[in-house]
Amino acid sequence: MHPANDAGLLSPYRVLDLTDEHGILCSKILADLGADVIQIEPPCGSSARRLGPFYEDEAHPDRSLFWWSYAANKRSITLNLASRDGRALLQRLLPSAHFLIESFPPGHTERLGLGYDALAALNPALIVVSITPFGQDGPYAHYRASDLNGMAMAGFMYVTGDPDRPPARVGVPHFYLHGAAAGATGAMIAHAQRGHTGRGQYVDVSCQEAVARTLASAPQLFAIENTVIRRQGSYRQTGDTTFMRITWPCKDGFVNFQLSGGAGAGRSVNNLIQWMEEEGLGDPVLTGLDWTTLGYGMVTKELLDRVVPPVERFLMSHTKAELFEGAVKRRILLFPVATTRDIMQNTQLQARGYFRQIFHPDLSTTITYPGPFVRASATPLELRRLAPKIGEHNAEIYLGDLGLTREELVRLREAGAI
């Protein structure tokens, strides 16, 4: 046992990441868990660096906030996969690697001679993860998909948005993030099997499938009840004739409150009704019902039409903050529809010390980052290093790890291999 290996959950493992912006979150999850992740960029820098927003709106490859978010905790080397020397360097890195992640269109790595079989021949224990919109083969494998196309094809847009407008995508591009995070999941399952067999394998992720698994009960509703769920704006359709109300306007913005039956949600609705009565805004139909006795997602449109107006009147008489405070006291499932400002001021996140202040020496300023995605009692996750500059660790890896000479490094750079 090496002491250094005990520092983090995944400290002994090295990940080579060939992905662009589409797969970049996969190795970020592994990096946050402590793995040694080397982001391999083309000599001109990763295309993820071109994604905004940018620090002080300066569209510079070292100032992409997307890059800062998803390349932190990683090292960077440059390597030109189109050149023989570049590919040779990658092959020299393979023996030290435990995972390799890529997000090229299907067939691309094979054409470069870097398909799974070729990689496995050099390192049979290597786990290779491919992240693509639709998977490696099949009729749509070569389809192009932006976030918008992907969310549509996965069924998520049809159920999201206002009924009298076109279907809407989630307002932040998430299609590839789902697939990339799934890549980390598949990688670790493959890693568990490697523990038994000593051998690696190939993990083929489909972002379409990843997003199709975020559809809650909608696929089962079609398969079992022949109900096609449609988008309902501030409502949600839960069955052929059943709905729940989700988003509501209030005095200074919007809140999320699930008006629905069920053990948990029903109790919350009962508690809100009691609050309404205390303020003299009760309603006889609301009060006459025990919402816990209605099944989860079993409320009809007729009932909702009758009970929504009094609830709406009550919510409109309060601010987001008043409603949330009251909800916490009364155990009501109500939360503000947060703006980014609300998130940064969220007292729960502050109390848990979620946000991390990190000093950027080159900008001489301290910057607030989202914190770790888990509290691990024995192995706290940390933001150990800032997102790297292009090829920041070339010397460290090429000279230090691979034992190249400075002369060779200069030669490779001049030849465009790194």
Partner 1 sequence: MRPLAGLKVLDFCWVAVGPMTTSYLAEYGATVVRIESKRRPETLRNAPPFGSQGQSVNRSGYFANYNANKYGMGVNMVHPQAREFVKRLVAWADLVTENFTPATLEDWGLGYEDLCQVKPDIILFSTSMLGRGGPYSQQPGFGAVLASLSGMTGLTGWPDRMPTNPYGAYTDFLVPRFAVPTILAALDYRRRTGRGQHLDMSQLEVALHFMAPLLLDYTLNGRERDRMGNRHPAAAPHGAYPCRGEDRWCTIACQTDTEWEALCQVMGAPSWTQEEGFATLLGRKAHEDELDTLISQWTQGWEAHELMRTLQQTGVPAGVVQTTRDLFDDPQLRHRGHFVFMDHPEVGRHPVQRSEFRLSQAPGEFRHSAPLLGQHTIEVCKEILHMSEDEIAALTEAGVLEE
Sign of CA dihedral 358, 359, 363, 364: positive
**Closest distance of CB 392 from partner 1, Å:** 20
Reference 259, options 281, 289, 224; nearest CA is 289
Give the H/E segment covering residue 99: strand 99-102
Using CB under 8 A as the binding rule, whether residue 160 contacts partner 1 is answered as: yes
Reference 221, options 294, 155, 292, 304; nearest CA is 155
Pick one of 23, 37, 70, 275: the residue that binds partner 1 (CB under 8 A). 70
Please give the structure tokens belonging to residue 352: 């848990």
Q: Which is nearer to partner 1, 176 or 398 (CB)?
A: 176
Q: Which is nearer to partner 1, 145 or 418 (CB)?
A: 145
Using CB under 8 A as the binding rule, whether residue 83 contacts partner 1 is answered as: no
Using CB under 8 A as the binding rule, whether residue 165 contacts partner 1 is answered as: yes
Residue 15 sits at φ, ψ, to 5 deg, of -120, 130
Give the H/E segment covering residue 232: none
Using CB under 8 A as the binding rule, whether residue 114 contacts partner 1 is answered as: no
390 neighbors 31 (Cβ within 8 angstroms): no
Give the H/E segment covering residue 247: strand 243-250
Tokens 């209605």, residue located? 294
Using CB under 8 A as the binding rule, whether residue 104 contacts partner 1 is answered as: no
Pick one of 337, 383, 399, 402: the residue that binds partner 1 (CB under 8 A). 337
Pick one of 77, 229, 259, 418: the residue that binds partner 1 (CB under 8 A). 229
Q: How far is CA 121 from its chain centroid?
A: 32
> Dmax of the chain from CA atoms?
85
Residue 99 sits at φ, ψ, to 5 deg, of -135, 150
Using CB under 8 A as the binding rule, whether residue 268 contacts partner 1 is answered as: yes
Within residues 286-315, the interface with partner 1 by CB under 8 A covers 295-298
Q: d(Cα 189, Cα 157) in Å, to the nearest integer?
A: 30
* 127-132 and 202-206 strand pairing: parallel
CA dist 154 → 137, 182, 347, 372 (Å): 17, 15, 35, 29
Using CB under 8 A as the binding rule, whether residue 319 contacts partner 1 is answered as: no
Pick one of 135, 310, 388, 391: the residue that binds partner 1 (CB under 8 A). 135
**Closest distance of CB 120 from partner 1, Å:** 10
Within residues 139-158, the interface with partner 1 by CB under 8 A covers 139-141, 143-150, 152-158
Using CB under 8 A as the binding rule, whether residue 318 contacts partner 1 is answered as: no
**Closest distance of CB 30 from partner 1, Å:** 7
Using CB under 8 A as the binding rule, whether residue 393 contacts partner 1 is answered as: no
Using CB under 8 A as the binding rule, whether residue 60 contacts partner 1 is answered as: no
237 neighbors 218 (Cβ within 8 angstroms): no
Using CB under 8 A as the binding rule, whether residue 278 contacts partner 1 is answered as: no
Residue ranges with strand state E in 262-328? none
Pick one of 282, 308, 346, 356: the residue that binds partner 1 (CB under 8 A). 346
Within residues 175-214, the interface with partner 1 by CB under 8 A covers 177-179, 181-193, 195-197, 199, 201-210, 212-214
**Closest distance of CB 91 from partner 1, Å:** 21
Q: Which is nearer to partner 1, 340 or 364 (CB)?
A: 340
* 99-102 and 14-17 strand pairing: parallel
**Closest distance of CB 19 from partner 1, Å:** 15
Using CB under 8 A as the binding rule, whether residue 382 contacts partner 1 is answered as: no
**Segment near partner 1 (CB under 8 A), from 23-31, 99-107, 306-314, 400-408?**
23-31
